[in-house]
Each structure stands twice: as C-alpha cells, then as structure tokens.
Amino acid sequence: MVKLTVIEGGRSSAATSRETKRGVHPTAEDVRKEAERRIHASGYDDWRVRELATGASMPIEIRYLRMQIEYAAQAIGRFVKIPADFASDSYWPA
C-alpha cells in the first residue's frame, strides 16, 4: 500500500514572494528549486534508495508523480514571465 502526502506549496517560498514584491522576478532556477523541494517532499528519494538497495520496484505512482513535477517545472520555467505565485499548488500536480 502506498501512502501519498499532500505537498503544500508556497510555505517555504516566503522569501521568494518577498523578493518578488521588491521587483525581482522569479527565475527558472527558482522553479527548479521548487520542483526539487516537491520531489523530496513526495518521498521519491527514499523510494529510489530502497529500490537500489533491495531491487524492489518503487510504486509507479511515485515514479509518475516525479515525471509530472519535472514536466511542470520545465513548462513553468519556459514562461516569458514566470508568475510570482509559481509555488502555488495550482501550477503543480497533486
């Protein structure tokens, strides 16, 4: 049985929102960091280590979630103007 965790966006990006209010726009690197945070929060790293150590496959849902997060990060990173609220859950898969 796979336990899924709700990943709330925007909480750790308070510094990013403050910078945006001062006129600094988010960059593709900021989006990449948010994607890495979400992947880590999903437990992907633990499943990957377990897969390498035991040979047992990780749940397909976890693998697909990482692929979806990577896709969203690439799409958001290509925006001409990245939205200030890019860390909002509305831009990322659940």
Kindly state the average pLDDT of the residues 66-93.
94
Q: Are 35 and 73 in contact (CB under 8 A)?
A: yes
Handedness of CA 41, 65, 87, 26 (dihedral sign): positive
pTM (predicted TM-score) = 0.73
Kindly state the average pLDDT of the residues 76-85.
93
Q: Which residue has the higher pLDDT, 8 or 52?
A: 52
Which pLDDT tens digit goes with each residue over 8-42? 665 555 555 545 455 678 999 999 999 999 999 99
